[in-house]
Amino acid sequence: MAHQITDRDGLFTVREAAWHGLGEVLTDYPTRVEAQQIAHPWEPVAEPVYRRVLHPDFTETYEEVTEHVLNVRSDTGAPLGVVADSYTPVTNTEMWDIAEAIEGVNATDVRYETGGSLKGGKKVWLLLRLAEPLTMIGDPNGATIPYYALQNAHDGSGSFRGQATMTRIVCDNTAQMADLDAAARGTEFVFRHTSGVTARVNEAREALARWRTAITVWRDTSQRLVELRLTDEQVETFVNEFIPEPAPHLASPRVMGNVDTARAQLWEIINGPTCAEIKHTGWGMTQAAIEYAEHFRKAQNAETRFKRAYLENSTLTSDAVELVYAIAR
């Protein structure tokens, strides 16, 4: 059950049904009352945790574990997970309060795209369609980030976080995809363990403002790279310097063969469909370098390639940009 939606979970989507066919499909964006009643008509409630103590006389008693509490659903009492007593909970209602206030628009103008819970309520999410999408302009395949997600875990398995993402969350798989998408784009914000809706709203608004500023800077850089024209000779120089050849007589035939293979792969990208309209631009060289690193560069295994592409910080993009500017001087 990849979707991790049980018969105890609520789910709504707007207009477009989820791939698994579950949940309620609404014909238009709902009000908060309508949507919350479907997705999260309950709250996490903390209850004490007890441990059994066996005594030498074979009797047993129960004593409270004061360092932890058990989160349960307020409607059914179903357990969600044991968390530390220092854990600062974010209730479902607080999540909706934050969503309602986060963009600074009228509450009736907030567009709730999807929302629901997973694993019986252990994980919850709410997906908004941004009133002002984060637009990344640079080439014919430029992307717009249309959604803002709030995700939380009542079982202590994850933090409360906000994410600008292109992923439409409708299940556990897509929830994890949103995590990866936002992390890769640098548009994930983890809320500090502060109490109070106002503080969290301010934090989220500041994060959105920072994302918009960062994307504006990158968009301007991308536009400059699109407008930066390169000759055939400069494109060849980029390939040779991005994948440099070792000094003469210091490398084995095998190493030299690997260099030739890598350059051939980079040329395949440059001459391929993804760079067809941007081949002789600085933007085209940057995109080709990223595609090579994520899909062609040698990796020990698939897991290593995945981590390198999505989970690890890399200077490859900035290095490619600097190389383009140096060649074009």
pLDDT at 128: 92
The answer to whether residue 315 is domain-embedded is yes
The answer to whether residue 86 is domain-embedded is no
Same domain (yes/no): 128, 27: yes
Pinpoint the alpha helices (H) of the chain. 32-39, 92-101, 172-185, 197-227, 232-242, 253-270, 282-295, 302-306, 316-328
**Looking at this protein, which amino acid is placed at residue 192?**
R
Same domain (yes/no): 271, 176: no
Structure tokens at 74: 């307020």
Same domain (yes/no): 274, 244: yes
DSSP for 202-229, please give it. Answer: HHHHHHHHHHHHHHHHHHHHHHHHHH-B
- Going from the C-alpha of 175 to that of each of 42, 118, 119, 172, the distances in angstroms are 21, 10, 12, 5
Same domain (yes/no): 37, 136: yes
116 torsion bin: left (phi>0), alpha (psi -120 to 50), beta (else): left
Q: What is the pLDDT of residues 47-62, one digit of tens each?
A: 999 999 999 988 999 9
Structure tokens at 283: 């933007």
Q: In what order do the strands lie in the sheet with 79-84?
A: 44-54, 60-73, 79-84
CA–CA distance, 103 with 129 (Å, rounded to integer):
11
Domain boundary among 159, 194, 215: 215
Q: Give the domain extent around 141.
A: 11-41+91-215
Contact predicate 183/161, CB 8 Å? no
Q: What is the pLDDT of residues 300-329, one digit of tens each?
A: 555 444 444 444 445 667 788 889 999 987
Taking 70 as the pLDDT cut, the residues of the chain under it are 1-2, 104, 107, 135-143, 193-195, 248, 294, 297-316
Q: Return the H-helix or E-strand segment holding 113.
A: strand 111-118
How many folded domains does the chain comprise?
2
CA–CA distance, 293 with 275 (Å, rounded to integer):
15
| Residue linked to tokens 């640098």 | 186
Same domain (yes/no): 207, 238: no
pLDDT at 264: 92
pLDDT at 313: 44
